[in-house]
Amino acid sequence: MLRSEVNAILAAAEALVARFGVALPPFARWTPDEFRARRAAAAAIVEARLGWDVTDYGQGDFARLGLVLFTLRNGRPADPGRGGGRCYAEKLLISRERQVAPMHTHRRKAEDIINRAGATLCVELFASGPDGGPDPRARGSVCTDGIERPFGPGEVLRLAPGESVTLLPGDWHAFWAEGGDVLAGEVSTVNDDLADNVFRDPVGRFAGIEEDAPPRRLLVADYDRRLA
């Protein structure tokens, strides 16, 4: 992706979040210079990898395959195992109409995906087979707002604003917005995007960025290089 494209995507994302009446924390608006000036005070933000994330999953077609995320809070990967610290995470997800977040599952993370505002959030579901991959024949079940809901292989669950689905490790899922854009929420156990995502197809979790313009905001993937 071009950095200029990322800048435009983030400007549109900030406008969409504001349009839906959601306020982000102050560091969401920091420029790169402000982030660098506050690097020592922001050590916990950097360590937990809080902030903006724009991905095209390495495929170069953001409108078709992509997502904007903002991580609001997160613990350390070791926290759940030791039973202490912050064992939770929270994100906002911006899914544009017909823009797919590709089929994947998580090794350890359990998550609730909530349609917070906008159009319909579509979630395609598969149960895991004996090899751990999505099983084209097996049925499964998830909870939708606390109610068990069986699903068939490849069934699409449609969530209206206010509705949610609980996904456990091994629940394969892809999602996209239908009928307009969606502002979704994710509440989960600790998030580890470096090691916990398993994709069905050979895609990458993060975008490669060509620096054709200065960054408007730093992405989580920029922290190691630009804040060292």
- Give the global pTM: 0.96
Residue with tokens 């959030």: 121
Exposure letters 91-111 (e unless 16+ CB within 10 A, then b): bbbbbbeebbbbbbbbeebeb
Distance of CA 89 to CAs 17, 185, 186, Å?
19, 11, 8
Mean pLDDT of 42-67: 97
Residue type present at position 214: P
Domain CATH number, residue 112: 2.60.120.10
Give the span between the Cα atoms of 159 and 166, in whole angstroms.
12
14-19 long-range Cβ contacts below 8 angstroms, 24+ apart: 16/94, 16/181, 16/183, 17/70, 17/92, 17/94, 17/183
Please answer whether residues 223 and 48 qualify as being in contact, where contact means their C-beta atoms are separated by less than 8 angstroms: no
Can you give the residue range of the structural domain that contains 122?
A: 3-226
In this structure, the number of other CB atoms found within 10 A of the CB of residue 78 comes to 10
Tell me how many domains the chain contains.
Answer: 1
pLDDT tens for 168-212 read 999 999 999 999 999 999 999 999 999 999 999 999 999 999 999
Q: What is the pLDDT of residues 130-177, one digit of tens each?
A: 999 999 999 999 999 999 999 999 999 999 999 999 999 999 999 999
* 85 phi-psi bin (left φ>0, alpha ψ -120 to 50, beta other): left
